[in-house]
Amino acid sequence: MKKIIEQIKNSRNILILSHKNPDGDAVGSSLALALALKTLGKEVSCFSVSGIPEVFNFLPGVDFFRKGADFMNYDLVVLLDCATFSRTGIEDIQRVAASFDRLIIVDHHPKTEVEESAESEYWIDEKKSSTAVMIYELLIEMGVNISKDVATCLLTGIFTDTGGFQHSNTDESSMRAAAELMKKGPRIEKISRNMFSGKSVPAIKLWGKALSRIENSSNTGMAVSYVTMEDIEEAGAKEEDLSGLISVINTVSDAKFSLLLTEYDKNKIKGSLRSEDYKGMDVSRLARGLGGGGHKLASGFEMEGDIGRSIAKISNMVLRLKDKTNKEG
């Protein structure tokens, strides 16, 4: 951490990058770091290729997120909540990345690949519940005063990645950080309301369609549903309105894990996977087999094809994994 702090202190213009389709942890961590670094006299910008979902517009500092970025004007790039540039979704990112003089990576996802350059420093700790907890610890180590605005952003990151302190990754460090942050004045009920309540009518209609399609297979142990581009258009909703739906699907009592497929372009599908510790299913193995990744209990991937064939392909892969696990056991 000392080398990371040294790089930050020796930099003037800083760009904070995160993955495409950023979640509460990515957005909250980015904004918290930007707000904190601004108080140190740094010039800071945040960027995600897909912008940030409207649900996060209540967070202080949202103007730090730029709609476009001139990647040549920064002397330090901080990559948050992911460890590879490919996750940013930025076109021709490898050519762009060649211009980065210094790079810092802070991430809590399992380390599979990590970007490295001549002057790169990374802190990856998959035992942490969220990147927001790591940014909190970084700011404490730096001796930075954590304002109410910074605390609000960090608490949002922790709150969302722990599922409102309900997931099994809700550990002592998460609760301790949350308790200290709440002393700064953020309102957790406001965060909860924005994240889990206040759904629009189009969003509720879209959820209803997806929930009505849930199928539960005793062979695979999978509860699965899907949403098409046509569904989203007919409901007058947005793709971001699906946030949180996978966790509801995961409440199917006799399912080992849940899968939500979302068609975001013609024959292009995003998959979200969720499970719980007591169910004994490592969904990251399945996600990696499909070219994605993530945590043991929360992972994702992208694939090409139609919905029906994709479900069949994933089901067959699950059965092969089960067979392999049984043989190894």
List the CATH number of the domain containing 278.
3.10.310.30
Q: What is the pLDDT of residues 39-76, one digit of tens each?
A: 999 999 999 998 898 899 999 999 999 877 777 778 89
Confidence (pLDDT) at 147? 98
User: In the listed set 196, 220, 255, which residue is the last one of a domain according to the structure?
Assistant: 196
176 is in which domain, residue-wise? 2-196
Both 284 and 135 in a single domain? Answer: no
- Spatial contact of 161 and 116, defined as CB atoms under 8 Å apart: no
Q: Is the pLDDT of residue 329 over 90?
A: no
How many domains, in total, are found in the chain? 2
Both 154 and 235 in a single domain? Answer: no
**Mean pLDDT over residues 256-284, rounded?**
94
User: In the listed set 166, 196, 226, which residue is the last one of a domain according to the structure?
Assistant: 196
Both 278 and 177 in a single domain? Answer: no
What's the mean pLDDT when you consider all of the chain? 91
d(CA 255, CA 219): 10
Confidence (pLDDT) at 260? 98
Q: Is the pLDDT of residue 222 over 90?
A: yes
- Spatial contact of 277 and 284, defined as CB atoms under 8 Å apart: no
Confidence (pLDDT) at 294? 85
Both 211 and 89 in a single domain? Answer: no
Q: What is the pLDDT of residues 70-94, one digit of tens each?
A: 777 788 999 999 988 888 888 877 7
- Spatial contact of 321 and 329, defined as CB atoms under 8 Å apart: no
Q: Is the pLDDT of residue 328 over 70?
A: no
Confidence (pLDDT) at 78? 95
Both 211 and 157 in a single domain? Answer: no
Backbone angles phi, psi at 293, to 5 degrees: 175, -170
Q: Is the pLDDT of residue 325 over 80?
A: no
Using pLDDT thresholds of 50, 70 and 90, give the confidence band for residue 30: very high
Confidence (pLDDT) at 66? 84
Confidence (pLDDT) at 26? 96
* Radius of gyration over every alpha carbon of the chain, rounded to an integer in angstroms: 20
Q: Is the pLDDT of residue 210 over 70?
A: yes
- CA distances 78 to 46, 103, 124, 283, Å, are 9, 6, 13, 28
Q: Is the pLDDT of residue 116 over 70?
A: no
Please report, in angstroms and rounded to a whole number, the separation of the first and last CA atoms in the chain.
Answer: 40
d(CA 286, CA 327): 17
Q: What is the pLDDT of residues 135-177, one digit of tens each?
A: 999 999 999 999 999 999 999 999 999 989 988 899 999 999 9
Both 50 and 152 in a single domain? Answer: yes
Using pLDDT thresholds of 50, 70 and 90, give the confidence band for residue 254: very high
